[in-house]
Each structure stands twice: as structure tokens, then as C-alpha cells.
Amino acid sequence: MAILVVGPSWVGDIVMAQSLFWALRQRQSQVQIDVLAPAWSLPLLRHMPEVRTGICSPFEHGQLGLRARWALGRSLRGRYEQAIVLPNAWKSALVPWAARIPQRTGWLGEGRWGLLNDVRHLDTQRLPQMVQRFVALSQPVGAVEAPVVSPPQLQVSPAEVQTALQQRRLVVSAPVLALCPGAAYGPAKRWPAASYAALAQHWQRQGGVVWLFGSEQDQPACAEIQQLCGAVCTDLSGHLKLSETVALLSVATVVVSNDSGLMHVAAALMRPVVAVYGSTSPVFAPPLSQCHRVFYLDLECSPCRKRECPLGHLACLHQITVAQVWGAVQELAAEYGATC
């Protein structure tokens, strides 16, 4: 049996989708899983042994592209017995429909009757977490119990790690603190750069090294951390391919991150993670690993789920202190060390 999964458009969501792939394999060990996803995500899918092939979805975020979706669907005809559509947008169901895949599964979403013929109705009380909602689509219709979720586990070979280290001229000669100060969704998810800089100083005083991770849009925050901490950090933001990011995060002693895609990548690599939440809630999308600590204040105004603080104070982030986070970093480093 072959299944086409229409994947989501965010790094963290793609990582969490691996739990669905695992569940499908548990139900039928010989199932072949292909994933239709944005081009940037294909290197990430190659770290998931459950996935046979990643198929490039050429559509920009929000792009309709009806003719192109129809053509892509036609090119996939006759290859799959089932499609599972993870995004809720109706256009995400167009390719499986055009491909005439017999069983097209997904949550009701925005008016997808007809495009989907195996429509599920979401019970948010039974399935409070995003990863549960993904995995539940592997269950038979009418399942009552919440699904068993196996945490994502990205696979990285020693050769991949060595190649990434050599290409970036890095040597792991001391414990590595990985800082991920960005969050693509907006500033209401970003702990202050000054707080990250203070963490970097604490770690370096103990003889460790600090690597800064992020995309091009995170470079200003990383540059500010460099300036504020008064010591040299290795700023990798905006310079790494996604596959290199995965490889280098896999050797971190501890990772400190906002609620972001890199947080989920680090957790899926079984690295100790300290996660800082602001406008979002860890109830919906927590780090899915054993070795993590979460900071979330659950203020009266939280979670607002806004890109920017509607009240203008960002208390949900500013009231999380460096001392608190540093204590968690020390605890995880001592408890898990190089393994998790």
C-alpha cells in the first residue's frame, strides 16, 4: 500500500508529522509513505526513515495555483491508495483530489466536502495537541481513545555530522550551548536577545562554547547577542542549509530555544531542550522529547497567539528570568550530559 501525505508548511509541524509516519508504519509495516511538502523541507524528510520519497510542492505560502495543482495531481494518478491531508486549507486537498486517490483523509477544515471523502470531525478536548491531531488521522473512523504518540526521532549519521563540522570549520572541543533566538511567527514568541546573551556569558565562563542558530531573518537578533555578551559566539544564522542545521544541532550539549521549528528539531534529535513560550502555549505544541524543560507563565492574557503583543508589554517573555532558564540549562546538562 502507498500513501501520500500532504505535509504542512512550517518546520516544527513537519517534524511533528513524523509521529504520523511512525503510526502508519505500525499499522502496516510494508506501507510506502511519500510526502508532498515545500522544497525547503525535503532535506528534513530525508532524516525520517519512515518516508520513502519527498515530493516538492512548488506552491508559495498562500498561493492558489489551480492549474498547477491540477497538473501535479494528474502526474500522481495511479500511485496511491490513500492520501492524508495535514493542512486545513481547502487548496491543500486539491492535489489528492486531482490525483483521484481513492481514500482522501483529513479534518473537515475550510469547506473541503467533495475534495476529501474521508472527512474527520475534530474533537479538541480529546486531541488538545497538534501531534495528536496528526496521528489521529491514522486511526479508523470513529476511534474514541486518543492515539498513542511516538515522539519524532530524526536520524543523523556520524558522517553527516563530520561533514557539517568540516564545512563550517567547527570543532567540538568543549560542551556546546546552542541558542535559537528566532521565531518566524513574530516577536511575541521571542525571548529578549539580552537574556540569550546573559546565558551565553554564563556558559562561556564555565568553559563551554556557544553556537547561534537561525534563518537570515534571525541574523539581527544573533548579532545583538554577539554584541551584548562581550565574548565570541559562533554565529551560524543564515549560513546553514537545513541538513547542516540538523547535523550540528545533534551535537549540542543543551539547546535553548523559543517556541520555534528549531525547538522541535532539537527535541527530535533527542537533545536536552529548554523551551521558552510567550504568545503560544506548550499545551498545543510542546517539545516531544523526554529531556526538556518548559518556561511558560500562563498569564491572564496568555496565550494570545498574536505575532506582536497586543498590550505592548511582552510580560509573558520579559518576566521569564535568565536565572530561571540558566538553572534549567545546568540541570539538563548535569542530568543528561552528552546523551538523552
Residue 110 reports pLDDT greater than 80: no
CATH code at 331? 3.40.50.2000
pLDDT score, position 203 = 95
Note whether residue 293 is domain-resident: yes
Separation CA 307–CA 278 (nearest Å):
10
Work out the average pLDDT over 105-111: 86
Cα first-last separation, the chain: 35
Same-domain status, 58 and 128 = yes
Q: What is the pLDDT of residues 177-211, one digit of tens each?
A: 999 998 888 888 999 999 999 999 999 999 999 99
Same-domain status, 192 and 58 = no
Same-domain status, 174 and 322 = yes
Note whether residue 143 is domain-resident: no
pLDDT score, position 41 = 93
Residue 338 reports pLDDT greater than 80: no
Counted domains in the chain: 2
Q: In whole numbers, what is the pLDDT of the chain averaged over residues? A: 93
pLDDT score, position 142 = 80
Separation CA 261–CA 257 (nearest Å):
9
Same-domain status, 183 and 68 = no
Same-domain status, 303 and 182 = yes
Same-domain status, 162 and 132 = no
pLDDT score, position 336 = 79
More confidently predicted of 151 and 141: 151
Q: In Å, what is the CA distance from 211 to each residue of 153, 171, 297?
A: 22, 11, 27
Work out the average pLDDT over 170-181: 94
Q: What is the pLDDT of residues 246-287, one digit of tens each?
A: 999 999 999 999 999 999 999 999 999 999 999 999 999 999
Q: What is the pLDDT of residues 280-295, one digit of tens each?
A: 999 999 999 989 999 9
Same-domain status, 201 and 250 = yes
What band does 337 get if pLDDT is binned at 50, 70 and 90? low
Torsional class of 47: left (φ above 0), alpha (ψ -120 to 50), beta (otherwise): alpha
Same-domain status, 202 and 127 = no
pLDDT score, position 65 = 77
Residue 225 reports pLDDT greater than 60: yes
The secondary structure of the chain, three-state, reads: CEEEEECCCCHHHHHHHHHHHHHHHHHCCCCEEEEEEEHHHHHHHCCCCCEEEEEEECCCCCCCCHHHHHHHHHHCCCCCCEEEECCCCHHHHHHHHHCCCCEEEEECCCCCECCECEEECCCCCCCCCHHHHHHHCCCCCCCCCCCCCCCCCCCCCHHHHHHHHHHCCCCCCCCEEEEECCCCCCHHHCCCHHHHHHHHHHHHHCCCEEEECCCHHHHHHHHHHHHHHCCCCEECCCCCCHHHHHHHHCCCCEEEEECCHHHHHHHHCCCCEEEECCCCCCCCCCCCCCCEEEECCCCCCCCCCCCCCCCCCCHHHHCCCHHHHHHHHHHHHHHHCCCC
Work out the average pLDDT over 325-332: 96
Same-domain status, 308 and 177 = yes
Work out the average pLDDT over 223-243: 90
pLDDT score, position 340 = 52
Work out the average pLDDT over 227-251: 92
- Of the given ranges (22-36, 119-133, 220-234), which has the lowest mean pLDDT? 220-234
Note whether residue 58 is domain-resident: yes
Separation CA 86–CA 9 (nearest Å):
10
Note whether residue 210 is domain-resident: yes
Residue 63 reports pLDDT greater than 80: no
Place of cell 537561525: 214
Note whether residue 151 is domain-resident: no
Note whether residue 153 is domain-resident: no
- Name, in order, each residue with C-beta under 8 angstroms of 161's C-beta and a sequence gap of 6 or more: 247, 248, 250, 251
Work out the average pLDDT over 310-329: 93
**Which residue range forms the structural domain that includes residue 239?**
158-336
Note whether residue 147 is domain-resident: no
Residue 339 reports pLDDT greater than 70: no
- Name, in order, each residue with C-beta under 8 angstroms of 60's C-beta and a sequence gap of 6 or more: none
Same-domain status, 119 and 176 = no
Note whether residue 298 is domain-resident: yes
Separation CA 302–CA 269 (nearest Å):
29
Same-domain status, 132 and 184 = no
pLDDT score, position 335 = 86
What band does 109 get if pLDDT is binned at 50, 70 and 90? confident
What band does 64 get if pLDDT is binned at 50, 70 and 90? confident
Same-domain status, 208 and 304 = yes
pLDDT score, position 254 = 97
Q: Pick from 83, 104, 136: which residue ends a domain?
A: 136
